[in-house]
């Protein structure tokens, strides 16, 4: 069941659904190059150059939009299905890009970032659910990493386009991805588990056969693994009146479900991973990539440095996609957290010596190397794998609700960290801010070593049993 032939439609579905993640990744990387243009004396905004305060609001509002999108699209995923919810994400994604070229003041940019961020909230909530429900255990890891891999590809795309085009032209170019996404993903079936939950057991079986690349009338007997999957779908079917309930999927999900010992532990592990995903500071610093290098006095032009760093991060995520089903999730998360802390420590040390007045001009490569190393290791684990692990460890009954709650926490932490990043650097200095993030990264390593289970190749039932 794990041969390339049987998996090809799962890979096709994962690639198709993550086209929108490329667009969202570009949305995340857009401020890096665009802020330099918008904050310059020749700012195209009618209100003049973008101030530091405005930059904070424009950068962070993507997270407030993500919080809204998390609730909206998780609710839609339960009401109208995973596929339809995912298709509707194309609308805010497109609107977010289209508004930017017409923006004449910071408020217009803030609105655009909020709308585009809503699509991102849906991406990081519904796509992990979609992948977890269609993927075979043997390739669930690599398919799950596609989300962050494509998002990072979008970040690099924004950096590169920002080097050659102005901020408005970049928006028009990337907006075309919304149409490509709908055209490609339109033909994918709904997930087998969701169809079974809404009492469409025959359609669920057809969907499972499609994703496992097995025809409806196979010439040979079905494998034991597929028979087991089909049996699980049939046991998910809801009988009688319960099947007619419009809220069939949500029915029965109460706080008592979270009180059960193993479920509570799974949720707390997910909460820890999601929190450290943002508290390590990598995502916040990514929004200010070009600015960070400019302040560090790097000899490279800030936009070029951003492209180099973005490419390294993309390489890290690609390495994660290769290693995640070989080495496992836990070891990658652990190495990642330690590596992030070391990279940040190098950056902080350079910045501290600079503040003390030491001659560090000959070591201007240190912030680039430290930042690149930090993002490389972050992409391998702590920035990419929490979304996969939280979808793997949650029981099917509460998966949608739990992921919605966890992603809400993520967006709130992310909004706080990004919004106050300029304040941190002003009050603590760049060195103090980076050292603060480094200490949190080392704390994440301790948490992962003690509490996070290995989920590689295991079913949800096996994972919960190991908690």
pLDDT tens digits for range 90-116: 999 999 999 999 988 889 999 999 999
Considering the chain, what is the average pLDDT of its residues? 84
pLDDT, tens digit, for every residue of 136-185? 878 888 898 899 899 989 988 998 898 888 888 999 999 999 999 999 99
Lookup result for tokens 């009988």: 239
- Domains in the chain, number: 2
267 with 240, same domain: the answer is no
The lowest-confidence range among 20-24, 54-58, 243-247, 274-278 is 243-247
The pair of structure tokens assigned to 120 is 């991102």
The percent of residues in the chain predicted with pLDDT above 90, rounded, is: 34
Reduce the DSSP state of residue 459 to 3 states and report it. coil
- Do the Cβ atoms of 63 and 408 come closer than 8 Å? no
How far is it, in rounded angstroms, from Cα 168 to Cα 103? 9
pTM: 0.81
pLDDT, tens digit, for every residue of 20-39? 999 999 998 887 777 777 87
The pair of structure tokens assigned to 108 is 């217009």
124 in a domain, yes or no?
yes
* Cα end-to-end span (Å), the chain: 27
270 with 212, same domain: the answer is no
- pLDDT value for 3: 47
- pLDDT value for 134: 87
- pLDDT value for 224: 63
The pair of structure tokens assigned to 417 is 């960290």
Q: Of 217, 244, 271, which one is at a domain's C-terminal end?
A: 244
CATH code of 44's domain: 1.20.1250.20
DSSP state of 49: S
153 in a domain, yes or no?
yes
33 in a domain, yes or no?
yes
251 in a domain, yes or no?
no
11 with 153, same domain: the answer is yes
332 with 186, same domain: the answer is no
162 with 297, same domain: the answer is no
324 with 371, same domain: the answer is yes
- pLDDT value for 42: 78
Residue 440 confidence (pLDDT) above 90: yes
Please, which pLDDT band fits residue 247 given cuts at 50, 70 and 90? very low
236 with 373, same domain: the answer is no
- Do the Cβ atoms of 402 and 267 come closer than 8 Å? yes
The percent of residues in the chain predicted with pLDDT above 70, rounded, is: 87
- Do the Cβ atoms of 291 and 353 come closer than 8 Å? no
215 with 308, same domain: the answer is no
23 with 52, same domain: the answer is yes
The pair of structure tokens assigned to 149 is 């891999």
DSSP state of 218: -
328 with 236, same domain: the answer is no
- pLDDT value for 122: 92
65 with 184, same domain: the answer is yes
The lowest-confidence range among 198-202, 222-226, 284-288, 437-441 is 222-226
Burial 338-365 (b: 16+ CB within 10 A, else e): bbbbbbbbbbbbbbbebeeeeebeeebe
Question: How many CA atoms lie less than 13 Å away from 352 in the CB half-sphere?
Answer: 13
Q: Mean pLDDT throughout 229-235?
A: 65
- pLDDT value for 72: 94
Q: Mean pLDDT throughout 76-99?
A: 94
Reduce the DSSP state of residue 199 to 3 states and report it. coil
Q: Of 196, 211, 244, which one is at a domain's C-terminal end?
A: 244
What is the tally of helices (H) and strands (E) in the chain?
A: 25, 0
How far is it, in rounded angstroms, from Cα 371 to Cα 183? 37
The lowest-confidence range among 5-9, 165-169, 251-255 is 251-255
Residues in the chain: 467
- Do the Cβ atoms of 407 and 272 come closer than 8 Å? no
132 in a domain, yes or no?
yes
Alpha helical stretches, state H, 248-301: 255-259, 261-279, 282-286, 289-295
How far is it, in rounded angstroms, from Cα 232 to Cα 196? 9
425 in a domain, yes or no?
yes
Q: Of 187, 220, 244, which one is at a domain's C-terminal end?
A: 244
Residue 49 confidence (pLDDT) above 70: yes
- pLDDT value for 358: 85
| Residue 129: domain span | 1-244
How far is it, in rounded angstroms, from Cα 384 to Cα 379? 6
What is the helix, strand, coil percentage profile of the chain, to 5? 80, 0, 20
Please, which pLDDT band fits residue 229 given cuts at 50, 70 and 90? low
């Amino acid at each position: 069941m794990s041969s390339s032939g049987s998996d090809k439609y799962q890979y096709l579905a994962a690639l198709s659904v993550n086209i929108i993640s490329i667009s969202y990744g570009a949305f995340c990387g857009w401020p890096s190059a665009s802020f330099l243009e918008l904050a310059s004396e020749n700012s195209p905004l009618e209100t003049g150059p973008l101030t530091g305060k405005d930059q904070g609001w424009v950068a962070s509002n993507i997270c407030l939009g993500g919080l809204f999108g998390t609730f909206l699209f998780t609710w839609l995923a339960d009401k109208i299905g995973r596929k339809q919810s995912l298709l509707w994400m194309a609308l805010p994604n497109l609107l977010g890009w289209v508004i930017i070229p017409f923006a004449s003041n910071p408020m217009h940019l803030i609105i655009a970032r909020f709308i585009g961020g809503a699509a991102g909230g849906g991406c990081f909530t519904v796509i992990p659910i979609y992948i977890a429900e269609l993927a075979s255990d043997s390739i669930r890891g690599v398919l799950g990493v596609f989300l962050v891999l494509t998002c990072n590809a979008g970040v690099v795309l924004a950096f590169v386009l920002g080097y050659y085009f102005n901020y408005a032209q970049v928006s028009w170019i990337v907006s075309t991805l919304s149409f490509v996404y709908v055209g490609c993903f339109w033909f994918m079936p709904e997930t087998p588990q969701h169809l079974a939950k809404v009492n469409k057991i025959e359609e669920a079986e057809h969907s499972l056969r499609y994703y496992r690349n097995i025809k409806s009338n196979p010439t040979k007997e079905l494998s034991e693994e597929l028979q087991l999957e089909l049996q699980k779908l049939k046991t998910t079917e809801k009988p009688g009146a319960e099947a007619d309930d419009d809220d069939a999927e949500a029915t029965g999900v109460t706080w008592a479900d979270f009180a059960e010992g193993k479920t509570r532990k799974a949720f707390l592990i997910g909460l820890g991973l999601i929190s450290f995903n943002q508290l390590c500071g990598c995502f916040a610093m990514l929004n200010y990539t070009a600015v960070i290098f400019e302040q560090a006095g790097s000899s490279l032009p800030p936009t070029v440095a951003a492209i180099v760093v973005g490419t390294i991060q993309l390489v890290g995520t690609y390495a994660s996609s290769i290693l995640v089903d070989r080495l496992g999730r836990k070891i990658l998360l652990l190495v990642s957290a330690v590596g992030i802390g070391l990279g940040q420590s190098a950056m902080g040390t350079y910045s501290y010596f600079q503040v003390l007045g030491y001659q560090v001009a000959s070591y201007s490569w240190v912030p680039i190397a430290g930042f690149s190393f930090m993002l490389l290791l972050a992409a391998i684990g702590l920035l990419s794998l929490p979304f996969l692990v939280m979808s793997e460890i949650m029981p099917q009954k509460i998966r949608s609700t739990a992921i919605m709650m966890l992603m809400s926490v993520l967006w709130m932490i992310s909004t706080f960290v990004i919004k106050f990043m300029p304040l941190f650097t002003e009050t603590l200095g760049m060195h103090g801010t980076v050292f603060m993030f480094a200490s949190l990264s080392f704390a994440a390593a301790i948490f992962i070593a003690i509490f996070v289970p290995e989920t590689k190749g295991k079913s949800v039932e096996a994972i919960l049993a190991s908690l």
